[in-house]
Amino acid sequence: MNTVKIGWIGLGKIGIPMSQQLIRAGYPLSVYNRSKDKEEGFKTQGIGTAASPALLLNDTDLVFVMVSDDKAISDIFNGEEGLLAAKTSGKVIINMSTVSPAISKEMALACKAQGNHYLDAPVSGSVKQAEDAMLVIMVGGEIEPFEKAKPILEKMGKLVMLVGDTGAGNAAKLAINTLLGIVAQGLAETVTLAQQNGIEAEALITLISNSALGSPFIKIKGDAIINNNYQAAFALKHIAKDLRLAKDLGLATPLGETAYQTYQAAEAAFGEEDIIAVMKQVGKGENQ
């Protein structure tokens, strides 16, 4: 059994299967979630829970954080019983959330002042990849805590790469998600054009999947379009948020700008549905 004691904060759709990989790997794990009902499944496994982020950090060697946005990160770190309230040092805090490089730099400085280490380590992949430990994990931060965390990160992903200093992982993830938004919109527009000319979505997806353009993403999201299944694996509201963060980093290219406009327009009506619900926005002919 592994002896590194791990804390996990954030039991959302992807946080749960990611944390389960660490349990399977034999790590002693404790969890904290703001919505306490999500802790119940872990309690039935005999997994410990913490009353606050501060207490979780006090009782573990390394803490992962997987939450939705910059505000959630600020709450987890800066709250009255947040991570920065813990009276401990020498720990590693790994933020796997898709957030801004700016908040990672802010929290890294605060953790350093506390005597702890901070890494930003967002992931590329969704629920299926988390369940199969096939995520791509991009990391920003110092080499020493990265080397300590890498064997643990490798239990969750097929590739773990240090890409630069603090915030670099976040910047890489926002660049990748810009491409994700563009590809999803491109697929939606392609299917729409085909349908307008009497070609069924199923036929078009079969053609694309057997061409040089075929990919797992095209297959999965193509099937979703065919089956009219827009249940969120990766909610459209999250790509809208990520493109806002990318724009803050300087996104101003033609396709990036178009994707930004499309997803911002789609968020109010389709934000809780999957990213490929951009199909509905494209079908309206309204990208602005």
Q: Which residues are catalytic?
A: 173
Handedness of CA 59, 163, 174, 103 (dihedral sign): positive
CA–CA separation, 240 vs 157, rounded Å?
Answer: 25
Q: Which residues contact 86 (CB under 8 A, 6 or more apart)?
A: 53, 54, 55, 57, 58, 114
Are the beta carbons of 53 and 32 closer than 8 angstroms? yes
In sequence order, what are the beta bridge partners of 62? 6, 92
CA–CA separation, 152 vs 2, rounded Å?
Answer: 10
Q: Give me 26's structure tokens.
A: 């034999």
CA–CA separation, 50 vs 54, rounded Å?
Answer: 9
Which secondary-structure segment (H or E) carries 157?
Answer: strand 157-164
CB atoms within 10 A of CB 37: 8
Strands (E), 33-80: 48-49, 62-65
Which amino acid type is present at position 141?
G
